[in-house]
Amino acid sequence: MPYANNQGIRIHYEVEGTGPPLVLQHGSFGCGEDWRDFGYTSALKNDHQLILVDTRGHGASDKPHEPAAYDLASRAADVTAVLDALQIRQADYFGYSMGGWIGFGLAKYAPDRVRSLILGGAHPYAENMEAFRDLLPQEPAGFLAMCEPVFGPFMTPVMRTRLLANDLKALLALTQDRDSLADVLPAMRMPCLLFVGEADPRLPKVRE
Protein backbone atom coordinates (compact mmCIF):
# COMPACT_ATOMS: atom_id res chain seq x y z
CA MET A 1 0.00 0.00 0.00
CA PRO A 2 1.28 3.52 -0.73
CA TYR A 3 1.93 5.74 2.28
CA ALA A 4 3.10 9.29 2.83
CA ASN A 5 4.89 10.21 6.05
CA ASN A 6 4.02 13.35 7.99
CA GLN A 7 6.39 13.69 10.97
CA GLY A 8 6.18 9.99 11.77
CA ILE A 9 2.46 9.52 11.04
CA ARG A 10 1.81 7.29 8.02
CA ILE A 11 -1.00 8.44 5.74
CA HIS A 12 -2.44 5.88 3.36
CA TYR A 13 -3.62 6.97 -0.07
CA GLU A 14 -4.60 5.45 -3.41
CA VAL A 15 -4.51 6.88 -6.92
CA GLU A 16 -6.93 6.15 -9.73
CA GLY A 17 -7.65 7.70 -13.12
CA THR A 18 -5.90 10.19 -15.36
CA GLY A 19 -6.05 13.95 -15.75
CA PRO A 20 -5.61 16.96 -13.46
CA PRO A 21 -5.09 15.82 -9.84
CA LEU A 22 -8.13 15.88 -7.54
CA VAL A 23 -7.85 15.00 -3.85
CA LEU A 24 -10.91 13.24 -2.39
CA GLN A 25 -11.15 13.51 1.42
CA HIS A 26 -13.84 11.58 3.27
CA GLY A 27 -15.82 12.46 6.39
CA SER A 28 -15.59 11.18 9.96
CA PHE A 29 -15.63 7.40 10.48
CA GLY A 30 -15.04 6.78 6.77
CA CYS A 31 -12.06 6.17 4.50
CA GLY A 32 -10.97 6.69 0.92
CA GLU A 33 -12.89 3.62 -0.23
CA ASP A 34 -16.15 5.45 0.49
CA TRP A 35 -15.68 7.43 -2.72
CA ARG A 36 -15.74 4.16 -4.67
CA ASP A 37 -18.79 2.85 -2.80
CA PHE A 38 -20.83 5.95 -3.61
CA GLY A 39 -19.86 6.05 -7.28
CA TYR A 40 -17.62 9.13 -7.29
CA THR A 41 -14.51 7.41 -8.63
CA SER A 42 -16.31 5.78 -11.56
CA ALA A 43 -17.84 9.15 -12.48
CA LEU A 44 -14.61 11.15 -12.20
CA LYS A 45 -11.67 8.88 -13.04
CA ASN A 46 -11.82 9.46 -16.80
CA ASP A 47 -11.23 13.19 -16.30
CA HIS A 48 -9.08 13.36 -13.17
CA GLN A 49 -6.20 11.72 -11.40
CA LEU A 50 -8.08 10.89 -8.20
CA ILE A 51 -6.14 10.85 -4.94
CA LEU A 52 -8.12 9.03 -2.23
CA VAL A 53 -6.68 9.87 1.19
CA ASP A 54 -7.35 8.05 4.47
CA THR A 55 -7.10 10.89 6.97
CA ARG A 56 -5.22 10.11 10.19
CA GLY A 57 -7.29 8.03 12.58
CA HIS A 58 -9.14 6.34 9.70
CA GLY A 59 -8.78 3.53 7.19
CA ALA A 60 -5.24 2.23 6.74
CA SER A 61 -3.57 5.40 8.05
CA ASP A 62 -2.00 5.57 11.50
CA LYS A 63 -4.42 6.03 14.40
CA PRO A 64 -2.83 7.83 17.36
CA HIS A 65 -4.89 7.99 20.56
CA GLU A 66 -3.69 11.42 21.72
CA PRO A 67 -6.06 14.33 20.94
CA ALA A 68 -3.05 16.60 20.31
CA ALA A 69 -2.20 14.50 17.24
CA TYR A 70 -5.37 15.70 15.50
CA ASP A 71 -4.88 19.45 15.31
CA LEU A 72 -6.04 20.92 12.02
CA ALA A 73 -2.60 22.06 10.88
CA SER A 74 -1.36 18.46 11.09
CA ARG A 75 -4.36 17.15 9.19
CA ALA A 76 -3.79 19.70 6.42
CA ALA A 77 -0.12 18.71 6.37
CA ASP A 78 -1.18 15.08 5.86
CA VAL A 79 -2.72 16.10 2.54
CA THR A 80 0.34 18.06 1.43
CA ALA A 81 2.55 15.12 2.45
CA VAL A 82 0.56 12.93 0.05
CA LEU A 83 0.95 15.52 -2.71
CA ASP A 84 4.68 15.66 -2.00
CA ALA A 85 4.93 11.86 -2.21
CA LEU A 86 3.27 12.03 -5.62
CA GLN A 87 5.41 15.02 -6.68
CA ILE A 88 2.29 17.12 -7.25
CA ARG A 89 2.69 20.82 -6.61
CA GLN A 90 -0.99 21.80 -6.72
CA ALA A 91 -4.30 19.93 -6.87
CA ASP A 92 -8.01 20.50 -6.77
CA TYR A 93 -9.60 19.35 -3.51
CA PHE A 94 -13.01 17.79 -2.79
CA GLY A 95 -13.84 17.12 0.86
CA TYR A 96 -17.03 16.21 2.68
CA SER A 97 -17.96 16.97 6.32
CA MET A 98 -14.67 16.47 8.21
CA GLY A 99 -12.97 16.43 4.81
CA GLY A 100 -14.54 19.81 4.06
CA TRP A 101 -13.26 21.20 7.35
CA ILE A 102 -9.78 19.95 6.46
CA GLY A 103 -10.21 21.80 3.16
CA PHE A 104 -10.64 25.05 5.08
CA GLY A 105 -7.49 24.04 6.95
CA LEU A 106 -5.64 23.79 3.65
CA ALA A 107 -6.89 27.27 2.73
CA LYS A 108 -5.34 28.52 5.97
CA TYR A 109 -2.13 26.52 6.23
CA ALA A 110 -1.25 25.58 2.62
CA PRO A 111 -3.23 27.81 0.22
CA ASP A 112 -0.60 27.52 -2.50
CA ARG A 113 -1.16 23.75 -2.73
CA VAL A 114 -4.86 23.86 -3.69
CA ARG A 115 -6.10 25.11 -7.05
CA SER A 116 -9.78 24.99 -6.04
CA LEU A 117 -11.95 23.74 -3.18
CA ILE A 118 -15.23 21.81 -3.24
CA LEU A 119 -16.44 21.53 0.37
CA GLY A 120 -19.58 19.67 1.37
CA GLY A 121 -21.38 19.83 4.72
CA ALA A 122 -18.67 21.99 6.28
CA HIS A 123 -18.15 25.57 7.46
CA PRO A 124 -15.15 27.52 8.84
CA TYR A 125 -16.75 28.62 12.12
CA ALA A 126 -16.18 27.33 15.66
CA GLU A 127 -18.08 24.15 16.48
CA ASN A 128 -18.63 22.33 19.75
CA MET A 129 -18.27 18.61 19.05
CA GLU A 130 -19.44 17.41 22.48
CA ALA A 131 -22.68 16.00 21.07
CA PHE A 132 -20.68 13.86 18.64
CA ARG A 133 -18.36 12.66 21.41
CA ASP A 134 -21.31 11.74 23.62
CA LEU A 135 -22.78 9.60 20.84
CA LEU A 136 -19.63 7.52 20.38
CA PRO A 137 -20.03 4.10 22.04
CA GLN A 138 -17.10 2.20 23.49
CA GLU A 139 -17.69 -1.09 21.73
CA PRO A 140 -17.91 -1.97 18.00
CA ALA A 141 -21.47 -3.34 17.96
CA GLY A 142 -22.82 -0.13 19.49
CA PHE A 143 -20.82 1.94 17.01
CA LEU A 144 -22.27 -0.01 14.10
CA ALA A 145 -25.79 0.40 15.50
CA MET A 146 -25.19 4.16 15.65
CA CYS A 147 -24.00 4.28 12.02
CA GLU A 148 -26.65 2.08 10.40
CA PRO A 149 -29.49 4.66 10.49
CA VAL A 150 -27.15 7.27 9.00
CA PHE A 151 -26.17 5.18 5.99
CA GLY A 152 -29.55 3.44 5.63
CA PRO A 153 -29.88 1.62 2.30
CA PHE A 154 -26.35 2.66 1.31
CA MET A 155 -24.90 0.38 4.00
CA THR A 156 -23.27 -2.57 2.23
CA PRO A 157 -21.64 -5.63 3.83
CA VAL A 158 -18.22 -4.29 2.84
CA MET A 159 -18.97 -0.91 4.42
CA ARG A 160 -20.25 -2.63 7.58
CA THR A 161 -16.96 -4.52 7.85
CA ARG A 162 -14.96 -1.33 7.42
CA LEU A 163 -16.98 0.51 10.07
CA LEU A 164 -16.44 -2.34 12.54
CA ALA A 165 -12.69 -2.06 11.91
CA ASN A 166 -12.57 1.53 13.19
CA ASP A 167 -10.38 2.29 16.20
CA LEU A 168 -12.92 3.80 18.60
CA LYS A 169 -10.26 5.32 20.86
CA ALA A 170 -8.79 7.15 17.88
CA LEU A 171 -12.23 8.35 16.79
CA LEU A 172 -12.89 9.73 20.26
CA ALA A 173 -9.48 11.46 20.29
CA LEU A 174 -10.05 13.12 16.91
CA THR A 175 -13.58 14.37 17.63
CA GLN A 176 -12.41 17.64 19.17
CA ASP A 177 -14.08 21.02 19.43
CA ARG A 178 -13.20 23.09 16.37
CA ASP A 179 -11.77 26.60 16.54
CA SER A 180 -13.00 29.27 14.16
CA LEU A 181 -11.22 29.61 10.82
CA ALA A 182 -13.28 32.62 9.78
CA ASP A 183 -10.15 34.76 9.62
CA VAL A 184 -9.05 32.85 6.52
CA LEU A 185 -12.16 33.78 4.48
CA PRO A 186 -11.03 37.25 3.31
CA ALA A 187 -7.68 35.84 2.21
CA MET A 188 -9.02 32.94 0.12
CA ARG A 189 -8.30 33.51 -3.57
CA MET A 190 -8.90 30.02 -4.98
CA PRO A 191 -12.32 29.18 -6.46
CA CYS A 192 -14.47 27.60 -3.75
CA LEU A 193 -17.82 25.79 -4.01
CA LEU A 194 -19.81 24.98 -0.87
CA PHE A 195 -22.74 22.57 -0.81
CA VAL A 196 -24.90 21.24 2.01
CA GLY A 197 -28.14 19.30 2.41
CA GLU A 198 -31.38 21.02 3.40
CA ALA A 199 -31.69 18.89 6.55
CA ASP A 200 -28.04 19.25 7.55
CA PRO A 201 -27.73 21.13 10.89
CA ARG A 202 -24.73 22.95 9.42
CA LEU A 203 -26.89 24.60 6.72
CA PRO A 204 -27.19 28.02 8.48
CA LYS A 205 -23.44 28.30 9.00
CA VAL A 206 -22.68 27.24 5.44
CA ARG A 207 -25.07 29.93 4.19
CA GLU A 208 -23.37 32.46 6.43
pLDDT of residue 9: 98
Architecture of domain 3-199: 3-Layer(aba) Sandwich (3.40)
Mean pLDDT of 23-37: 94
**What single string gives the DSSP state of each residue in 18-42?**
-SSEEEEE--TT--TTHHHHTTHHH
Q: What is the pTM of this model?
A: 0.95
pLDDT of residue 106: 98
Is residue 115 over pLDDT 90? Answer: yes
pLDDT tens for 147-197 read 888 888 888 888 889 888 899 999 999 999 999 999 999 999 999 999 999
pLDDT of residue 87: 98
pLDDT tens for 51-69 read 999 999 999 999 999 999 9
Sheet of 91-96: strand order equals 3-6, 9-16, 49-53, 21-25, 91-96, 114-120, 192-195
pLDDT of residue 104: 98
- The ranges assigned to domains in the chain are 3-199
Give whole-number Cα distances, 56 to 109, 191, 193, 195, in Å.
17, 26, 25, 24
